[in-house]
Amino acid sequence: MLPWKSIITINRKENRPVYLQVSDAVISEIMKGRIQKGLRMPGSRTLANELNINRKTVLQAYDELMAQGWMEIIPTKGTFIKQSLPEIKQQPLGQLIEKKAIEVSNSSKYDMPRGEHVIDDGTPDYRLAPIDLLLKTARSVSKGVVGKSVLLGNHFFGEITLRKNLSNYLSSTRAINGSPENILITRGSQMAIYLAFTTLLSKGDQVIVGELNYHSADRAIKSAGGQLIKVPVTTEGLDLSAVEKEVKRGKIRAMYITPHHQYPTTVTMPVENRMRLLELAEKYDFYIIEDDYDYDYHYNRSPILPLASIDQSGRVIYIGSFSKILVPSIRIGYMFANETITKKCGELRMIIDKLGDPIMERALAEMLANNEIDRFLKKAVNTYKERRDLFCQKLKEGLKNEITFNKPIGGMAVWVTFKNVKIKELIETAAKHQLTLKIDVYEHTERACRFGFASMTLEEIESNTALMVKTIKTILGR
């Protein structure tokens, strides 16, 4: 039997629950090649005794590993590491992977005023945001010695307390382990995306994106001189066979992905595909920009961990934002990457924005330390789950013969395909019925779009879906 006591270290002082520490450790050892696919795992009671923890904790950890696609139960035989996982080269204990140096070579829908009847393409309800607490904390921070040090300090890479607290937060919520030096604070995620591609790309460099993709990311890539290489999107995210074909054909410098819920289709990339993608990145020498724009909103169980949490070679540039938790005008995003990349991006950021917003950044740091962000997110997730359920119910009741969709397990939107209605016509006709559809029309599909549910109250969902049903009946001549 493997030396599980040495493999799985429990730190009871950490905020991350013990069962997640167990699952994190198993995932880490799989990624390092020291736990092989097909390995039979010890029984829950055996492992609990070995680690000196409660058996229920082990069962929770096993449930988590199965939910994320790392383990499977084979009837009458036991619990095993999934056989279908890609092969990973074994690494000796303590081996460090050298990080390679890199050469330095926007319009927003969310600031538009809301009308009486609006359906957007998937934004939070900013009316729920803890903005009063943030502003109160900011006022408190600005006073006295702390305020003076924050206001007068140099914050080229972001306010240092926020970087420290964010490092702990990413470790406890996403199993992304690093130091403040791995973190660059930015003015929202869009700045982080822009800095990453401007730093990575030279003119003509190729970047893989989904055939359906986040428009603002596409614009950032083009602005940085990159050439978009589009691959199809499947029910499991980007088509990996198409990705592999492209990386074999030519020199791919980077790729942009939203694996948690692919934008715009909302599909989730399974663990096997994530591991295969990391393997391709290392083999063919390209970087992965992982935009985790709605990681915090998951409704069934814990979400699959980001690629950055299982990256062994510094290939992933992880991007997130607090603007979708707070309000759009509070521009606080971040990048987590190896220190070479954050340093290069930070030097570029200094040219356009030397100081950021240190008071708001310090206020957010205090809210993270006091678990205020966690408390808010728990309430928001419960609220959005209720809204998702009602919205999907109303879509089925009113349009079941005209649309197809899958009820999303997370995120803030539903990807809907119409049988007989084009999205451009839907937007134009809805306006005549006093319904504003703040949604994108995509080049490669004229009959599918994102409908957001999170920003609407239950009453607004009732009235807005009724107007949409009325709109579609008008288009179909009923």
- Cα separation of 175 and 159, whole Å? 22
Q: Looking at 91-186, which runs of residues are DSSP E strands?
A: 118-120, 183-186
The dihedral through the CA atoms of 14, 19, 22, 28 has a sign that is negative
Q: Which two tokens stand for residue 445?
A: 């599909």
Give the chain's domains with CATH numbers: 4-81 (1.10.10.10), 131-372 (3.40.640.10), 375-475 (3.90.1150.10)
Nearest Cα to Cα of residue 284 among 251, 255, 257, 316 = 251
- Cα separation of 32 and 30, whole Å? 5
Record the pTM: 0.81
Nearest Cα to Cα of residue 256 among 293, 209, 314 = 209
| Rounded average pLDDT over 342-363 | 88
Q: Which two tokens stand for residue 102?
A: 């890199």
The answer on pLDDT for 104 being more than 90 is: no
Instruction: Measure Cα distances from 466 to 394, 446, 469 in Å.
Output: 8, 23, 5
- Cα separation of 212 and 448, whole Å? 11
Residue 250, pLDDT score: 81
Residue 455's pLDDT band, with cuts at 50, 70 and 90, is: very high
- Cα separation of 172 and 181, whole Å? 18
Residue 103's pLDDT band, with cuts at 50, 70 and 90, is: very low
Q: Cβ neighbours of residue 122 under 8 Å, at least 6 residues apart?
A: 294, 411, 412, 413, 450, 451, 452, 453, 454
Which 8-state DSSP code applies to residue 101?
Answer: P
Residue pLDDT, tens place only, 359-417: 889 999 999 999 999 999 999 999 999 999 999 999 999 998 899 999 999 999 999 99
Q: What angle do CA 282, 66, 31 make, to 5 degrees?
A: 25
